[in-house]
Amino acid sequence: MPAFTPPASQPDLDVTTPSAAPSSTGKSEGPGVSISGFRLNGNEVYQDAELLDLLANLIGTEQDLDGLRAATDRITKFYQDHGYLLARAYLPPQDIVDGVVQIAIQEGVYDQVTLNNQTRVRDTVLRRALAPLRPGEAVHLEALDNRLMLISDLPGVQIQGTLRPGKSPGSTELFIDAEPGPIVAGSVDTDNFGGYYTGEYRLAGTLDVNNPLRLGDQLNLRLLTSDKKQRYYRLAYQVPIGSSLTRVGASASNMSYRLGRDFTLLEAHGNASIASVFLQQPILRSRNFSLQAQLQYEDKSMRDAMDLFDVVNRKRVGLWTASLGGNSEDGFFGGGRTAVHLSYGLGSLRLQDAYSRHRDRLYNRSAGTFGKTNITLLRLQNLPGPFMVYAQFNAQLASKNLDSSEKFSLGGPFGVRAFPNGAASGDEGWQGSLDLRYLPAPGWQFAAFVDKGAVRLNKRPWIGGRNSQQLSAMGASLIQTGKSHQITLTAAWPLEQNNYQQEGPKREPRLWFQATRLF
């Protein structure tokens, strides 16, 4: 899911581009020449016909030296407008015969690529990413920026590129300076985002180990515990491969719980284990835009038990998910950021005990193959003064009745915030939020918000009665951010409950908090 996080340090690129300002015109530099045509030399990126079209209106006219320089400026500007910032067209020494003027073009090619690697990542990994920038190829800003951004995305790498004059005229040396980032990074956080019966108050920690095998890889560990014996761990590893730095990864997680409070006598408990593998491909990557595709497979094993009645339910889900995610920055009405995430999942639910299979055949009929589509849209828009607007929209469509683990829910600190996690779950639904944010000083942010959402409880209901649920809320939040910490406080009041059955005691307002410490 896309999110707006503090931007990572971006690679620096030092480059001096030749001036593309048009030469002055006039008759101060000698007699004019009657132009019958132009002959181009040195162009490889663009064909003669495309460049000569830029000069078509000069055929049959009389031009002095300034006019001919202005003609070369047209070609220079065309190259630079299309990203070839080092390209230059000029008039070589010549005798003009029959009105045909020669124009030479230096497209600004790579002479060599020099790597100064001081990171833990092996040279072969970085050189593989730089392989498309071949000597003799014209320097294109977007292609160069793409390579630098892909390398900067590697964990524990900070990069700067410098274009220097090459050994031959019209060529340039690309000097890459790769500096080491942190080997280990992580965070500790506490919140009250847990469930009423499984433990609202939670403590968690995350640890990232960068380049343990010096391959641009990363090892990630997350641990979480609650005040009601909920436990969660996740171990993940990913490594880039190929010149496009395609990421291949795998993870394993386990969550165990025990219901407390009103359900303590039932001795209800359970666990869920998930093993997954994924392939993530960057499609577009620049300073202001990124787009990536991902294919993931998850194997989910879930077990729920009530010892009081000696009941054990087991189920297993295999889920393939193809997704496309992107984000961009723009200058629209003062500037802002947009993120989008679209995914389609195709899975299979297997119920592994006879009682669950029997009930499912009679009622829900969720076993077997299912499909679901999810979309998330986010927009952060600058406003005049110290104000911003944040909007988000989430939705899910389903092919059939889904298992509870695959349903869409409205509540929680990132949904309709006046209701707990898991509130109003259904096979299909949507949820939207709109925040008006006020930034009075660096590190401080106040917001007023409204949330709304609706779900279709069952794609194909098997009993009569209400098959939908709508929730809405309003509230306010405070965020205080420092160099290595963030504290968030939120209060939300329900506006529309639609006969929602509250989990636990009624709370108006519902308060959320989260504190995170980075290291």
Q: What single string gives the DSSP state of each residue in 67-98?
A: HHHHHHHHHHHHHHHTT-TT-EEE--S---BT
224 and 204 within one domain: yes
For 378, the token pair is 């986010």
418 in a structural domain = yes
Question: Do 193 and 117 fall within a single domain?
Answer: no
Q: What amino acid is encoded at 47 in this protein?
A: Q
Sheet containing 37-41: order of strands: 37-41, 100-106, 88-90
pLDDT at 277 > cutoff 50: yes
Do 203 and 160 lie in one domain? The reply is no
DSSP string, 177-196: EEEE--SEEEEEEEES-S-T
- pLDDT tens sequence across 228-242: 889 999 999 999 999
Tell me the longest C-alpha to C-alpha distance in the chain: 106
In this prediction, residue 18 carries a pLDDT of: 45
Q: What is the pLDDT of residue 46?
A: 96
Q: Are residues 81 and 222 in the same domain?
A: no
Q: Work out the pLDDT band at 16, boundaries 50, 70, 90.
A: low
- For the segment 26-35, what is each residue's pLDDT rounded down to a tens digit? 344 557 899 9
Do the Cβ atoms of 237 and 258 come closer than 8 Å?
no
Higher pLDDT, 196 or 388: 388
Tell whether 245 is covered by a domain: yes
User: Is 220 within 8 Å of 207 (Cβ atoms)?
Assistant: yes
3-state DSSP: the chain helix, strand, coil percent, rounded to 5?
15, 50, 35
Determine the Cα–Cα distance for residues 113 and 221; give it in Å rounded to an integer.
Answer: 37
User: 26 in a domain, yes or no?
Assistant: no
If DSSP codes are grouped into helix, strand and coil, which group holds residue 204? strand
Q: In which element (H, E) is residue 16 found? A: none
**What CATH number should be reported for the domain holding residue 176?**
3.10.20.310
Within-domain flag for 28: no
Please report the pLDDT score of residue 169 as a whole number: 87
Number of helices and strands (H, E) in the chain? 5, 27
pLDDT score for 424: 93
Each residue's pLDDT tens digit, 449-475: 999 999 999 999 998 888 999 999 999
> 147 to each of 172, 182, 285, 503, how far by Cα in Å?
17, 21, 8, 51
Say if strands 202-210 and 62-63 run parallel, antiparallel, or are unpaired: unpaired
Indicate whether 194 and 328 sit together in one domain: yes
Mean pLDDT of the chain: 92
Q: How many CA atoms lie within 13 A of 514 on its CB side?
A: 17
pLDDT value at 24 more than 50 = no
Percentage of residues in the chain having pLDDT higher than 70? 94
Q: Which amino acid is at 402?
A: L
Q: What is the mean pLDDT of residues 475-480?
A: 98
Task: Kindly state whether residues 340 and 415 are assigned to the same domain.
Answer: yes
Rounded average pLDDT over 383-405: 97
121 lies in the same domain as 82: no
Asked which of 47, 75, 106 is the last residue of a domain, the reply is: 106
**Residue at 14 is within a domain:** no
Domain limit, last residue, from 180, 203, 230: 180
Q: Which residues contact 159 (CB under 8 A, 6 or more apart)?
A: 11, 12, 148, 151, 152, 176, 177, 178, 179
Q: Are strands 289-306 and 62-63 parallel, antiparallel or unpaired?
A: unpaired
The model's confidence at residue 501, banded by pLDDT at 50, 70 and 90, is confident
Are 218 and 231 members of one domain?
yes
Residue 140 is predicted with a pLDDT of 96
- Are 343 and 315 in the same domain? yes
- Does one domain contain both 280 and 165? no
pLDDT surpassing 90 at residue 7: no
Distance CA 188, CA 358 (A): 44
Q: Are residues 207 and 225 in the same domain?
A: yes
Last residue of a domain, one of 162, 180, 198: 180
Structural domain of 44: 33-106
Residue 19 predicted with pLDDT over 60: no
Give the mean pLDDT of 492-500: 89
Q: How confident is the model at residue 10 (pLDDT cuts 50, 70, 90)?
A: low
CATH number at residue 192: 2.40.160.50
Q: Is residue 5 part of a domain?
A: no
pLDDT the model gives residue 260? 86
Q: What span, in angstroms and rounded, lies between the C-alpha atoms of 128 and 125?
A: 5
Query: Token pair for residue 487?
Result: 């504290």
Confidence of residue 502 (pLDDT cuts 50, 70, 90): confident
Q: What percent of the chain has pLDDT over 90?
A: 85
Per the structure block, which two tokens stand in for 267? 């001795």
| CB-based burial label for 86 (10 Å; 0-12, 13-18, 19+) | buried
In this structure, are 402 and 317 located in the same domain? yes
| Those residues with Cβ within 8 angstroms of residue 27's Cβ, 6 or more apart along the chain or in another chain | 64, 66
Of 366, 396, 319, the residue nearest 460 (C-alpha):
366
Torsion of CA 401, 407, 411, 416, to 10 degrees: -80
Phi, psi of 68 (to 5 degrees): -70, -35
Average pLDDT over residues 345-349: 98
For the record, the structure tokens of 517 come out as 């410490």
The full length of the chain comes to 519
